[in-house]
Structure 1
Amino acid sequence: MHIARTRTAVGVAISAIALGTLPAWAAHAEPTAAERGTARHAPHHPRPASDGVHQIPLQGAVNVRDLGGYRTYDGDRVRYGQVFRADALAKLTDADVGTLAKLGLKKVIDFRVPAEVRYDGTDKLPAGLTATSRAVNDNGLFTMLMTVIGSKDPVKQEEMLGNGKADAFMRDVYRTFVADGTNRAQFAATLRDIAHGGDAAPLLYHCTSGKDRTGWTSYLLLRAIGVPERAAVGDYLASNTYRAAYDAKVRESLKQSGMMQNPDLLIPLQEVRTGYLETALDEVKKEYGSLDGYLRKGLGLDTRTILALRERMVD
């Protein structure tokens, strides 16, 4: 343990699309390599050659990653095989479940709201694992999408999502990550599990798309343990890389099925954007003065917990 170093530290047509939305009938696609946005090493999967995201390739999910590999400000490295981030696990194949089993997971946390779980299904997990429900409010996104896409009305869809409205809606979602007390409690409980839950490691958390609720949690964790802003933002934006092909297939399917004449209206809901993250951070600054203030006052994490996060996550 590096004690000294720690102190530096509708119907079948739709499901949810942002914070997890995928038509249930759309087949998963392999991700492209195109970027769309500016413990100890686990023995069961290869270590990347350089710092950066580490995807766990699966057939039934496209955005599953190991948070290990990033360098901290003082040159240490985040451990592999400790914490994983993911999109929905309800469509995993038997082979996928076998891959997860090799990760040695002890705890899985599901940020989806009950409506998402009812529609998409519960997680498919290795024997002996049951997901812990820790729902984070989607600000009405799931219901809104069920209404707007299910209407098949291009005028209504344009009125609800066009002219920057989809972007603005996502910014409101991110504000709730900071402003909503229940949401803060869910994020805090997850970070405490990582810090103090010896029996909970390795741990995986997910929403449906693995980009917003999961992305915010990952950003907080990386920043709390001393990963520089640029790398933490890079991890956040990497969802656009891994989701690009799948999300494009969703839009094409909606167009071919006649559900939407202009499915590109969904792009702001499907993507992560620096503007969304900045909106949450602006709310952090307004309410708590700094990210450290949000961690300590907003999430209620004391110094011991923040130091324990560093100890668990950093070599």
Structure 2
Amino acid sequence: MSRARIRLASAVLLSALAIGTVPAHASAGRQAPAASGSASVSASASDRADGRQNHRRYGAETIRQIPLQGAVNLRDLGGYSTYTGGRVRQGLVYRSDALGKLTEADITTVSGLGLTKVVDFRIPMEVQYDGADRLPSGLTPTSRAVSDLGLYGTLVAAISSGDPVKQEQMLGGGRAEAYMRDIYRTFVTSPENRAQFAATLRDIAAGGQGPLLYHCTSGKDRTGWMSYVLLRALGVPEGSAARDYLASNTYRGAYDAKVREGLKLSGRMQNPDLLIPLQEVRQDYLDAATAQLAADYGSFYGYLTQGLGLDLRVLADLQKKLVR
């Protein structure tokens, strides 16, 4: 195989590792169990399939996954209880991993969601190697790239090198975890990132806007932060919003383990466990963002109004539209 083809193959494999993980079509099982040792919340024995959704209970919450063949982390963000005794409406906001590998059957399923807008948080390099979204007729994704601080390029360099010493130097010794915390802080500190999240919240709040889906590559970091912010803005308790964030480990765990196994079998990585901090979501990463939020804006409300520039009308429209 030529060097160019090796680089391309490595980059394609990586399209799910940077702020999201390898193309979801390689996962055969869909409803992935939690990975051993991951920072996921525990699911109860009451998991069940119900029509087009798989319902999985986390304590008092029910998380509603839409099973697909070409994506593993598509979920309805509705169903959560709020401080005021309300409940987030279902069928209006969806969060997902990349949609570039959807099958025809998947597209039919997604069409049934009635989406009127899809927002893509991926950077251009991810779209180039992982593929543009495959969507129902009439839908075109809106690109709102959120920075990964160069993580995707770093991973391409590390894995395509095939050098275990270089890979350890780049990702080992806590460096991968530190990189992730830095990325989460930029969700708060970067004006460009804040503008992308704010624009999406305004879209969701808009009266004429129908069901909306947003996603990144794995649907866990950029998408996870967006979901955490939206749920808290709706008055969902912090603990519930954090459990929704951590649930990506449950849905992605088995698939991500297969990715690591494939990298080892291919000879690209002697120690693919170096990637685990990049594949998982962790409370520590979320805490880095919320600590930055408190430092910069004093409170979550300050972040919404000063950091994201949302006025009281937008916040009220979110409540009116999404909470019953």
TM-score, normalization: structure 2? 0.89
Q: Any idea what the Cα deviations from partners look like across 1:134-172, whole Å, max 9, x if unmatched?
A: 100111011000000110000000011111000000001
Partner of 1:11: 8
Tell me if 1:233 matches 2:242: yes
Counterpart secondary structure, 2:94 = strand
Query: Structure 1's 139 and 303: CA in aligned 2 closer, same or farther, altered over 3 A?
Result: same
Partner of 2:142: 132
Q: Residues 24 and 71 of structure 2 are in contact (CA less than 8 Å); yes or no, is this contact kept in structure 1?
A: no
Distance 2:316 2:28 in 1: 39
Tell me if 1:258 matches 2:267: yes
Tell me if 1:161 matches 2:158: no
Partner of 1:116: 126
The alpha-carbon deviation at position 27 of structure 1 amounts to 4.3
Counterpart secondary structure, 1:53 = strand
Q: Residues 77 and 314 of structure 1 are in contact (CA less than 8 Å); yes or no, is this contact kept in structure 2?
A: yes
Counterpart secondary structure, 2:61 = coil
Match of 2:110 among 77, 85, 100: 100
The alpha-carbon deviation at position 196 of structure 1 amounts to 1.3
Q: Residues 198 and 308 of structure 2 are in contact (CA less than 8 Å); yes or no, is this contact kept in structure 1?
A: yes
The alpha-carbon deviation at position 247 of structure 1 amounts to 0.2
Counterpart secondary structure, 1:61 = coil
The runs of 5 or more residues in structure 1 that have no matched partner are 1-9
Q: Residues 82 and 201 of structure 1 are in contact (CA less than 8 Å); yes or no, is this contact kept in structure 2?
A: yes
Distance 1:123 1:33 in 2: 25
Q: Residues 25 and 69 of structure 2 are in contact (CA less than 8 Å); yes or no, is this contact kept in structure 1?
A: no
The alpha-carbon deviation at position 11 of structure 1 amounts to 1.4
The alpha-carbon deviation at position 47 of structure 1 amounts to 8.7
Q: Residues 21 and 208 of structure 1 are in contact (CA less than 8 Å); yes or no, is this contact kept in structure 2?
A: yes
Q: Any idea what the Cα deviations from partners look like across 1:164-211, whole Å, max 9, x if unmatched?
A: 00000000100110011000000000000001152x320000000000
TM-score, normalization: structure 1? 0.92
Tell me if 1:213 matches 2:210: no
Q: Kindly, what percent of the aligned residue pairs are identical?
A: 61
Counterpart secondary structure, 1:52 = strand
Query: Structure 1's 292 and 24: CA in aligned 2 closer, same or farther, altered over 3 A?
Result: closer
Counting only pairs closer than 5 Å after superposition, residues 188-227 of structure 1 correspond to structure 2 as: 188-198=198-208, 200-227=209-236
Distance 2:314 2:28 in 1: 38
The alpha-carbon deviation at position 116 of structure 1 amounts to 0.5
Query: Structure 1's 57 and 275: CA in aligned 2 closer, same or farther, altered over 3 A?
Result: same
Tell me if 1:185 matches 2:195: yes
Distance 1:23 1:233 in 2: 25
Q: Structure 2: which amino acid aligns with 1:266?
A: L
Counterpart secondary structure, 2:79 = coil
Q: Residues 32 and 72 of structure 2 are in contact (CA less than 8 Å); yes or no, is this contact kept in structure 1?
A: no
Distance 1:231 1:256 in 2: 38
Distance 1:31 1:45 in 2: 13
Partner of 1:310: 319
Distance 1:46 1:269 in 2: 28
Distance 1:68 1:191 in 2: 15
Q: Any idea what the Cα deviations from partners look like across 1:98-149, whole Å, max 9, x if unmatched?
A: 0000000000000000010011111000000000001001110110000001
Instruction: Point out the more displaced range, 66-75 or 55-64.
Output: 66-75
Tell me if 1:54 matches 2:54: no
Q: Residues 33 and 254 of structure 2 are in contact (CA less than 8 Å); yes or no, is this contact kept in structure 1?
A: no
Q: Structure 2: which amino acid aligns with 1:15?
A: L
Q: Residues 219 and 235 of structure 1 are in contact (CA less than 8 Å); yes or no, is this contact kept in structure 2?
A: yes
Partner of 1:31: 31
CA RMSD of aligned residues (A): 1.8
Counterpart secondary structure, 1:281 = helix
Partner of 2:44: none
Counting only pairs closer than 5 Å after superposition, residues 137-148 of structure 1 correspond to structure 2 as: 137-148=147-158
The alpha-carbon deviation at position 31 of structure 1 amounts to 3.3
Partner of 2:20: 20
Partner of 1:246: 255
Distance 2:64 2:27 in 1: 23
Query: Structure 1's 141 and 216: CA in aligned 2 closer, same or farther, altered over 3 A?
Result: same
Distance 1:256 1:204 in 2: 35
Counterpart secondary structure, 2:14 = coil
The runs of 5 or more residues in structure 2 that have no matched partner are 1-6, 42-49
Q: Residues 54 and 65 of structure 1 are in contact (CA less than 8 Å); yes or no, is this contact kept in structure 2?
A: yes
Distance 2:223 2:242 in 1: 13
The alpha-carbon deviation at position 29 of structure 1 amounts to 3.9
Partner of 1:299: 308
